[in-house]
Chain A
Amino acid sequence: MTVEIQDNDSSPSTIGKMFKSIGLLRESPVAIFGLSLILFWVILAILAPVLPLYDPNELLEPFKFPLSEAKDGGLYWLGTDHKGRDILSRVIFGAQQVLVWATTATVVAYIVGMLMGVVAGYLGGWYDEVISFISNILLSFPVIVLYIIIITYLGATGFNIVLAVTFASAPGIMRIVRGLVLDLRTRDYIFAAQTRGESSMYIMLVELLPNARGPLIVDACLRLGYTTITIAMLGYLGLGLPPPDPDWGKMIAETQPLGSFAGHMAVVPAVAISSLVLGFNLLADGLREISMKD
């Protein structure tokens, strides 16, 4: 397509490009709404230490409803839980926890999956056979079984959760990347790079991967959402990070039996996780729509 030749005569800086791609989001209100949801939680999580919040683990007054007044004259905006901890504070600190681990786990899984995929797709042959076979084995595990085995065998630490997510997600990412690369590798510019004697490493990293970024960004957003769910779910099932740090899943699990008279204790973290995941999903949706239009 030969469009907009005029407005791009100087080579834009990296930051300029970033602003330009964010500007692209204007095309999709869905994406903007999704991004705002995510940013809402990210900003809260970053500001958590400086916000006027109670200590998330301090035992204050149990079973306070939202907007009830605290002993010290403060306000329990969202009430307190059965142990008397401030729910607002726990939700915000919980956001920190879930965002950090979900992002780390997704990034690690992506690096592994992408490398596997580009090698399998571009080099093919035995590389492909071996990588695909390993992926198939991992993919034939129901993901939760994989989590349970890794975490019961190695223990529930942040590192192991990242490891488990990588085991569970990397094969899927690998398949997507491999598919994209199989398509891209037949392009003439790859042929051109080969005919000027570029190394396989250069072709994979410089020529292939940048062109696969569109679908991968969308997929990464969806996966961030899914990993967020996974981490909260592990917390809910008692396989998450050890106490006392607040964890959305664990908050639901702890207070769920008390729902009959103090429903808010479980509903608040449930709303929190749903809104964050919705943010990721909407952003992914919007981005996909934008990329389809181009």
Chain B
Amino acid sequence: MLILAFRRFISMALIMAIISFTLFALFESDKLAVAGKVLGPYSNTEQRLLWLENNGYNEPFLARYGTWVGNALTGDFGQSIQYKTPVSEVLWPRLGNTAILAGLYMLIMIPLSLTLGVIAGMKEGSPQDRFVSVGSVLTTSVPEFASATFFTAIFVFWLGWLPGTAAMSSGFSWAEIFLPVLVLVMYGFGYTARMTRASMAEVMTSHYIRTAVLKGIPYRRVILRHALRNALIAPFTVIILQLNWLLSGVIVVEVFFAYKGFGKLLLDAALFGDIYVIEACTLVAVFVAVFSQFISDIGYTLLNPRIRFT
């Protein structure tokens, strides 16, 4: 078990190293372009060369990469071009905001989709199964920017119940975060629910469930003790890996509702050409993704004795 964790950890570190190197090579191998980005389009070549000299850009490429990684590890991602402040000062608060959004989403989505999936999968073809199946196809077909449009049209402009933005200009507000979370849940729960349903339905037709029923133990126990544990292994990994896809939705929602989060920061930086922010955001996003994969692998092994003891 520990060995496995260690191996996973090594491969995680390796992936991070490769990605960070590619990223650095992509954005910073052309030194003059970097200087151009920092100093603006009206700077001349002389100024740019001087800036490169002053900022240690004339070191060999690998040495620069080393310094950059070292700095990144200590939380120093350089100076934002757009905001003229250290990147970390913008990054962490934004990341916190997104964590709130994603956390609320997970808090609602996980119990909702697991419950619905299990209920649907318990009896394949039953009315509750059809309801959940059709419902989840419908909601996963409506992308976030579309459902956000619909919900805003209904709740904001027509009924006037909720605010149309979530800028949180006067501090955290439940009313403002309601729609963003709703939009994310609408789009996101279907996938996990369908996965859970399929997994549960498969388990319910398995021979060991037959054994359990024909052993004469109560139906409740068959479901809770025999079926659930095996049925939830697959959705568990899906939920964690969903973080990878979640970020797309998060960006859309943050843009739509003007929520000051990590996604909007990344998008703005990309559109502005704020390379240090892009680098920092990418590193953080990839780290979260790789780390979640690590957790998912470990969790999968813990849940599945067939892998744990071999």
* A–B interface present (Cβ within 8 A): yes
B286 contacts A by Cβ under 8 Å: yes
The interface residues of chain A lying within 8 Å CB-to-CB of B251 are 144, 237
Which residue of B141, B149, B256, B289 is within 8 Å of A267 (Cβ)? B149
Are B15 and A140 interface neighbours, CB within 8 A?
A: yes
The interface residues of chain A lying within 8 Å CB-to-CB of B26 are 149, 153
Give complex CA distance A143, B156 in Å.
Answer: 31
Within 8 A of A (CB), among B146-162: 146-147, 149-150, 152-153, 156-158
The interface residues of chain A lying within 8 Å CB-to-CB of B281 are 145
- Shortest distance in angstroms between A177's beta carbon and chain B's nearest beta carbon? 19
Which residue of B137, B156, B245, B285 is within 8 Å of A259 (Cβ)? B156
- Shortest distance in angstroms between A225's beta carbon and chain B's nearest beta carbon? 7
Are B149 and A142 interface neighbours, CB within 8 A?
A: no
Give complex CA distance A266, B288 in Å.
Answer: 33
Give complex CA distance A278, B15 in Å.
Answer: 36
The segment out of A72-80, A202-210, A269-277 that lies at the interface is A269-277
Main secondary structure of the interface of B (DSSP, over half): helix
* Residues of chain B at interface, number, CB under 8 A: 51
Which residue of A143, A145, A153, A270 is within 8 Å of B146 (Cβ)? A270
Are B19 and A137 interface neighbours, CB within 8 A?
A: yes
* Residues of chain A at interface, number, CB under 8 A: 42
Tell me whether A277 and B145 are in contact in the complex, defined as CB-CB below 8 angstroms, given that A140-B19, A144-B251 are known contacts: no
A238 contacts B by Cβ under 8 Å: yes
Give complex CA distance A137, B286 in Å.
Answer: 10
Binding site for B on A (CB under 8 A): 136-137, 139-145, 148-149, 151-153, 225, 229-230, 232-233, 236-239, 249, 252-253, 256, 259-260, 263, 266-267, 270-271, 273-274, 277-278, 280-282, 285
Binding site for A on B (CB under 8 A): 11, 15, 18-19, 23, 26-27, 133, 137-138, 140-147, 149-150, 152-153, 156-158, 164, 243-248, 251-252, 255-256, 263, 266-267, 270-271, 273, 278, 281-282, 285-286, 288-290, 293
- Apart from A230-B248, A237-B252, A278-B141, list 14 A-B contacts with CB within 8 A: A141-B286, A142-B248, A142-B286, A144-B251, A148-B278, A149-B282, A236-B145, A252-B149, A259-B164, A267-B153, A270-B150, A277-B142, A278-B138, A282-B141
